[in-house]
Structure 1
Amino acid sequence: MSRDERARQLLEVAWRLAREEGADALTLPRLAECAGVTKPVVYDHYASRAGLLAALYQDYDRRQTARMDEALASSADNLRAKAKVMADAYVTCVMSQGREIPGVVAALAGSPELDRIKRDYEREFMARCRKVLAPYAPGALSAARLWALLGAAEALSFAAAAGELGAAQARVELADLIRALVERPQAR
């Protein structure tokens, strides 16, 4: 198995482990056991649990970004369409990952180093949102509105993944919220 194939296998096993046993079970020895490899193989890919958590979050973010970018490229050029695509992509990505992503996100927040990684990805996401939504805004989109968009996207998606509301409802509410944040004039 090539190094890239092994890395992909380890990520898939780590996601399964998080889904079945929770993020607390994500230790390098447990990953080695579940993947059927020796500990040195896992440690060769991830120097620490923090490295594994960072790799999981990066994997999730890559998929989320690709899904959203692909859908945005083929969507109509209006706010309603862009908001729908963004909401659909965000919720769908979280739903496809299941209940394990909230656990990984919570584990990331437990370490300053990992929290920085998460914040960097959040800022990149908000920059993409600003670029896509700016043409439809009556003024510049404030950082506060972009943080609100991100918080709502995460909260609605995580609630849907936990079964607290339907995915379709989360998508509709998020698209409505995105439009409201963009269309409302900025306070002076």
Structure 2
Amino acid sequence: MSKELRDICTNYGINHLIALSGFHLVVLSFIIYWIFYYPYSFFHQKYFPYRNKKYDLLIITIFLLFFYLLLTGIVPSLLRAFVMFCLGIFLLRSNIKIFSFETLFFTFLIVIALFPKYLFSLGFWFSIMAVFYIFLYIKYFTFKNKIFHLIFFNSWMFLIFNPIVHFYFPATSYVQFLSIIITIFFTIFYPFEIVAHIFDFAIYF
């Protein structure tokens, strides 16, 4: 990425959107799951109907995401998301609550056990802290209105995470408040951009 583009992302406070992390992994896992769903359903129904189809598809998804993780050079924030994804499937299979601070803590321990050097990775710590504040939000805020949820959640993440980011990166401006709106639209933009790349019209965006 060019320095000019990095500066733009910093000025608008949207570095979290271009960093490979949980959101990207969720979108990719969703796409992989549904690409294999119908072909696998055919073989599942014909040859091994006794197996848990959804669990098998999630295992296939894990393997392909692991290959993607290797291709990216094992980015710390993406590794955190991948370990959490695998741990989540295990907990789901065992009927244990997924969204909990304990899950995040075990994810932290697993990543550090595999890669002790990530103790000194700022990207990894930002990733852990972001999930911590997401879980904190889930724990204390339960609005019924989904639109209000979307706006308030992104505002919460921006306001609570900004002091931490500015402790390490002094660049600040009023336009960073646009980060809240840009983040909301990115939720739609990123999946659409994947489709645009597949059908070769991404250049228009």
**TM bucket by the smaller chain?**
0.3 to 0.5
Does 1 or 2 have the higher relative contact order (CA < 8 Å, sep 6+)?
Answer: 2
- What's the TM-score, normalizing by structure 1? 0.33
- What's the TM-score, normalizing by structure 2? 0.31
